Amino acid sequence: MSASDEIWILGINMTKFGKHPDLDTVDLGAQAIMAALADAGVTMADIGVFAAGNLLGGGGIGQQLQKQVGQTGIPVYNVSNACATGATALRTAIMAVKAGECDMGLACGVEKLAGAGLLGAGGVPRSDAKVYNPSGRYGAVAGIDGRIGTNTMPGVFAQVGMEYGHKYGGATFELFARISEKNHSHSTLNPLATYTKAMSAEQIMNDVMIAYPNTRSMCSANCDGAAAAVVVSGEKLKTLSLEQQRRAVKVSASILTSDPWQEACQILPDVNTLTKNAAKQAYEQAGVGPEDLDLVELHDCFATAELVHYDNLGLCEEGGAVDFFESGAPWRDGRLPVNVSGGLESKGHPISATGIANIWEVCQHLRNECGDRQIEGAKVGLAHVIGLGSACGIHILEKSGV
């Protein structure tokens, strides 16, 4: 078959995010896959490639899921790419279809993360013994976490937000709490979110401090969950029913970036440059700009992260993230709604599932199937994830014209 210039999401779904003590990783992933296949109106027999993302399961999740949902001999790619794992799995399936290797592909991201504790902490006690031990990754005498900077996610992104505030001003503790207040408010309309309870800025500010200025309710929720998507070539889509064509969502851009070489601090990760590069490439590939977006699901692993990504994704002018938020634009009824799902702070963050779950949210709005939280008239949306290491995935999605 010839390669198709157009790629469409034919079916997509996600499990409820939260605690699932009665389900293991394979159970959750299979649940999302079967729901996505049903949403697409196809079966595993129609799928020509499968990409599965998982970080904590020990490898081989794709083949394990095949045993549950159907072994058909197709190529399986097991994907691991930090918080961008789900988006990378989807991009893997997209590339195979776009190359003409098959006309339909499947991607899944799944994680069991409830009770995992502080990500990045590693659970290894630090020794304060006064012994010279040059075993650090960069030749350090000892592990530097807690002494110089930090490797824990709340600390890293706390520094990122504070750095932005020092550079441009206006990024106060209260402002970050109000960003979180927005997302918790949005979550009340999302039945699949881990938390669906509104919180006031005052409640958020008075919550347990994790890493200033991020309190507990400003942090993404560790939870269990899975999401899956079926992608199809434009040529194949034309042969399917009018209803399948109507509900299909066009993938106008699929971008994955990593850190470019630069003269930079090697202690504080740069979450900005690779996101800015990904956004620039995505807008060029899709032929749209930030002004054309009707909604955005961005990677708010912490309230501080959401603020800087307003800027990184070009949703505002450089340095204008505080003014963008203060204008009311990112609220559900604002000019450019951001994280209508409740974001990672409320919806939850089962790492490998997040990249596809963000896309699911955008797809539901473009299909006009979001119920009470529907963004009316939504035609173009952007989904963004970033994982330290680093990897950034951006997908721009467009409503079908059928």
Active centre residues (catalytic): 83, 349
In this structure, what DSSP letter does residue 119 have? T
Say how many CA atoms lie within 13 Å of 81 toward its Cβ: 28
For the chain, the 3-state helix, strand and coil shares in percent, each to the nearest 5, are 35, 20, 45
DSSP 70-89: ------EEEE-BTBTHHHHH
Q: State the number of CA atoms in the 13 A half-sphere of 55 facing the CB.
A: 23
What's the half-sphere exposure (Cβ side, CA atoms, 13 Å) at 11?
Answer: 25
Chain-centroid distance, C-alpha 177 = 21
Question: What are the CA-CA distances from residue 300 to residues 26, 127, 142 (Å)?
Answer: 27, 33, 31
Q: Kindly give, in sequence order, each residue whose CB lies less than 8 Å from that of residue 248, ignoring residues fewer than 6 positions away.
A: 8, 9, 10, 232, 237, 400, 402
Q: What is the Cα–Cα distance from 372 to 350, expressed in whole angstroms?
A: 24
CA end-to-end span of the chain, whole Å?
24
291: CB partners within 8 A, 6+ apart: none
Phi, psi (degrees; rounded to nearest 5) at 87: -65, -35
Helix (H, G, I), strand (E, B), or coil: what is residue 98? Answer: helix
CA distance 287 to 280: 11
Please list, in sequence order, all residues whose beta carbon lies within 8 angstroms of the beta carbon of residue 364, skipping any fewer than 6 positions away. 370
- Residue 250 β-bridge partners: 8, 398
Report yes or no: 297 and 362 within 8 Å, Cβ to Cβ.
Answer: yes
| Inter-residue contact 227 to 234 (CB < 8 Å) | no
